[in-house]
Structure 1
Amino acid sequence: MNLEDLTDSAQNYLKCLWTLSEWTGGAVTPSEVARHLDLRPSSVSDQIRRLTLAGLVDHAPYGSVTLTDEGRALALQMVRRHRLAETFLAEMLGYEWDEVHEDADRLEHAISEKMLERIDAALGHPELDPHGDPIPSSDGGLPDRILRPLVDCSVGDHIQMSRIRDADPAVLRHLGSLGIVPGAEFAVTDTGATSGVMLLRSGDLGRDIPLARDIAASIRVLPVSGQPVDGA
């Protein structure tokens, strides 16, 4: 089966299932899909039933939904289209990182494979999109990175922001205003275990930046070796 054999809706569901499983690290429930796509549970159930009959997902009654091998391959193609479109909008057209998602959702269904490969080449074959999300290669491969949830870090950890979930543009704008973007380095000075607010020390600012733990849960980081951030 090819992507062109699927409706835009079916393509969206496959991409959604892959994206949600990336963040949860496991299977996804229909209710999670409904929340993510802002659809009625009955509509989601109908589409999942069709995808199951097509052999693209496995779904036990009242259980979770997982992609089959064929479904996974098609989902990764959609993820590649979306994240390359986001990167193109940001790097070539000057979109802010909180603006790219909606238009990339439109472009991903219209881009031909020829155009997609031209975009990939023009961008220099990027591995990450503006939010730090990995861009699958044309054969479905993904960059090999082991990231850690920011909320799992300890006081004194020196970290680099590596991946920030793009579900809410308002959150992205807030994080951008704080300088919390992929590539930025911080030291953890308070985990927020009791207060619910983490404190991150920036060497550039020389002060602590407060960050609610519920927002921090949408951030993945890499440990940074060497000297801690100044003032940490």
Structure 2
Amino acid sequence: MKPSKPVVEDYLKTIYSHTEWQADAITPSALATRLGLAPSTVTEMVKKLAAQGLVTHVRYGAISLTPAGTAQAVAVVRRHRLVETWLVKEMGYGWDAVHDEAEVLEHAISDRLLSSIDERLGHPDRDPHGDPIPAADGTVRRERAVLLEDASDGHTGCVLRISDRDPSLLRELEASGIDVGTTVSVRNGALLVGSTRVRLTASAHSAIWLSA
């Protein structure tokens, strides 16, 4: 049976997102974990995606998108991130509450409505969490970034991206005055926001990217 379009898009988007901020390709086990599915289910689906020319993979090894798969992934990522931005800017959603809504709407929104949203928002190039929004032609503008846990002591940079996978973490950062665009400095394992010293949970250090 041919998989549905939303299922295909979810797989492609997840594979794409995995390597967007780090270089290691995703494995079947990691993909299963990200999707919350059984490894056997993911293995069968990857075979179907490969048969459609959307991914390449080696048995028990890395999964990579083909050019066709990348094009489809970028298109759904664009829809997802524009919807998130629209929900925050126009509909009054908090940045910790938009991911799940966008997961649903990204599969249903028409190209015409998406274009109207993009125009109304002024063609944004970043979503509320700092992830780049691909342009209509598929191009993506990226900046050099360093993960907070890898930043050297004394590093000062602008927060470029915050992972949106944990809503409670987003609320923690918001309460600490940290948002995309905030300038912070790393000092002795803590962050300085202006002159204020902020201590974050360990998970935050693997969820924040700073300008390099």
Matches within 5 A, 1:189-204: 189-190=187-188, 198-203=189-194
Taking the aligned partners of 1:163 and 1:147, their CA distance within structure 2 comes to 9
The one of 208, 214, 217 aligned to 2:197: 208
Q: CA deviation at 1:155?
A: 2.3
Q: Which amino acid aligns with 2:109?
A: I
Superimposed CA distance per residue, residues 76-96 of structure 1 (whole angstroms, 9 cap, x where no aligned partner): 001000000000000000100
Aligned residues: 210
User: What corresponds to 2:75 in structure 1?
Assistant: 77
Runs of at least 4 residues of structure 1 off by over 6 A? none
TM-score norm. by structure 2 comes to 0.95
1:217 matched to 2:206: yes
Q: CA deviation at 1:207?
A: 2.8
Structure 2 residue matching 1:22: 3-state secondary structure = coil
Q: 2:132 touches 2:142 (CA, 8 Å); kept in 1? A: no
Deviates most, 24-33 or 124-133: 24-33
Structure 1 portions without partners, runs of 5+ = 191-197, 224-232
Taking the aligned partners of 1:87 and 1:25, their CA distance within structure 2 comes to 26
1:53 matched to 2:51: yes
Matches within 5 A, 1:28-67: 28-67=26-65
Q: 2:147 touches 2:209 (CA, 8 Å); kept in 1? A: yes
TM-score norm. by structure 1 comes to 0.87
1:101 matched to 2:99: yes
User: What corresponds to 1:230 in structure 2?
Assistant: none
Identity of aligned residues (%): 41
Taking the aligned partners of 1:37 and 1:169, their CA distance within structure 2 comes to 17
Structure 2 portions without partners, runs of 5+ = none
The one of 25, 28, 33 aligned to 1:27: 25
Indicate the structure (1 or 2) with the bigger Cα radius of gyration: 1
